[in-house]
Structure formats: structure tokens, C-alpha cells
Amino acid sequence: MEALHSDVKEVLLSEEDIHQIVSRMGEQITRDYAGKNPLVVAVLRGAVVFTADLMRAIDCPMSVDFMAVSSYGEAAKSSGVVRIVKDLDTKIEGRDVLIVEDILDSGLTLSYLIDLLKGRGPASVEVAAFLVKDVTGKTPAIEPRYVGTHVPDEFIVGYGLDFAERYRNLPYIGILKPEVYQK
């Protein structure tokens, strides 16, 4: 049994929940990319854990590359500024690109990334987001082709998602206690 981390207010998705979601997404992607050879682009660092699971649920030829962008720094709120920290090593011209993201909030990070990658002449660019945050009154800048599940507008950690680089190793998705990031 996993011990509930004392900074976590509530567990939203258990390891078993996550496994079911990822399997379903893998099946959809496998079906849609049959006969193709997609390039899975994991957005570092948050999407690493999800990508590791998702790619093993994809049953067609594919390759993987990594990109690092920074939009949040160490704060809990988006700065709206996206900075490329590490670019792809792969040429994407003519490739079917599948961007894998941990969580979509405003969608600003992804909309910037999509525009950037589209400028390089890929055959297609789609997005697989494990989580989409439901923010009342706000529509995200983009609509991902593949969505794991929706989460409430709270600060989410675990399964790759951090606060100040902590909690990425939690095997579940949880809500961080506000007193932790309001300190």
C-alpha cells in the first residue's frame, strides 16, 4: 500500500485508474496511427512518466524525442511566458508528430509549441494530454486530440507533475494542499 504523502490533500487518480486511462489512450493512438511511424514528442519534465507508460501502450512503429519548455518556473501560477530550454534532436519534416503533455491548463504552452513545430513542415501535429484542467469560464487555447481525463482547478502533483521539482515520483495523481504552495 502506498502511503499518502502528507502534503497531498486528496488522491484523484490511483495507479490503477492511471493504468486504465493510459491503456485506453494507447489503443486510440494505435488505431489512428496504424501504418504510420509517429514521432512522440514528450514535453519535459512533467510528461516523462506519462510518456514512458503511454509509449508502451502504443502498438505500432514509433520513435520518441524530448523537448523542454519552461512556463511555470517554480511558482504555482502560469507566467504566460514559454521558453525553449531543449529542442528536438529529430528532423520532423514529413513526420506525424504526437506531442505528449502532462496537463493542459490555459493551453498557452502547447499552442506555442504546436505553432513552432508546424513551422518545420511535419505531416501532422496532434496532442495527447494526460490531464485537462477544468477552469470555470475559461477555454484552453487548444483542444487536444487525446485526453486522459479532466481534473478540477486545483494544484495537481504526482505521476510526473511537480511543485518546485518535488512530488514527481508520487505514483498517483493528487491535489497539493494549498498551504504547501502558499507558504
Cβ-based nearer residue to ligand 5GP, 53 or 101: 101
CA torsion sign, 104 to 68 to 112 to 35? negative
Q: What DSSP element (H or E) covers 124?
A: strand 124-134
- Single out the residue of 64, 39, 58 nearest to residue 121, CA to CA: 39
The rounded distance, in Å, linking the Cα atoms of 14 and 24 is 16
User: Which residue out of 96, 102, 105, 162 is catalytically annotated?
Assistant: 105
Q: What is the closest distance, in whole angstroms, from the C-beta atom of residue 31 to ligand 5GP in the complex? A: 26
Q: Is 46 in the site for ligand 5GP (CB under 6 A)?
A: yes
Segment interacting with ligand 5GP (CB under 6 A) among 9-17, 25-33, 90-98, 100-108:
100-108
Cell 506525424 identifies what position? 96
Q: Is 159 in the site for ligand 5GP (CB under 6 A)?
A: no
- As given in the structure block, the three cell numbers for residue 143 are 483542444
Q: Is 103 in the site for ligand 5GP (CB under 6 A)?
A: yes
Could you list the residues that contact ligand 5GP (CB under 6 A)?
A: 46, 71-72, 78, 101-109, 133, 155-157, 161-163
